[in-house]
Amino acid sequence: MNITKKIAVLTFATFALVSCKKEEKNTTEGTVATENTKEVAAKMETASFTIEGMTCAMGCAATIENKLGRLDGVTSAKVDFETKTATVEFDANKQTATTLTQTVEGVADGKTYKVSHMKSEANKA
């Protein structure tokens, strides 16, 4: 009987500890800090280019698109496996056509993908 009571108490204590949720403080300071960290892009550009060396949509194209999309200042990146092209919208103050080329050509072993026919245009907003 003593063991049954200990097991019951242990079970209850475990349940109580696991089910408790940590309270989050909701302050206006966090909101203000978030708003202050947003930056306005001063010089948006769109670059489109051809990527040679892609062999599949799910691996190659998706990986390159993901790498480009994670670059600082890139607002969108789309890689089309069928046409072997990429279109990237970016802040020219943070990225350049050269850094986009280096990023793509640096994926995998650094020898698999080659960028050509780079066209970069400033967006007229």
**Which of 3-17, 54-68, 101-115 shows the lowest per-residue confidence on average (mean pLDDT)?**
3-17
Nearest of 123, 124, 120, 122 to residue 100 by alpha carbon = 120
Q: Mean pLDDT, to the nearest integer, of 83-88?
A: 96
Q: Is the pLDDT of residue 115 over 80?
A: yes
CA distances 110 to 13, 40, 79, 113, Å, are 55, 33, 18, 7
What whole-number percentage of the chain has pLDDT above 90? 55
Backbone angles phi, psi at 120, to 5 degrees: -125, 130
Q: Which residue has the higher pLDDT, 117 or 108?
A: 117
Q: Which amino acid is at 90?
A: F
- Compute the mean pLDDT over every residue in the chain, rounded to the nearest whole number: 80
Strands (E), the chain: 44-52, 74-80, 85-91, 114-122
User: Is the model's pTM score more than 0.75?
Assistant: no
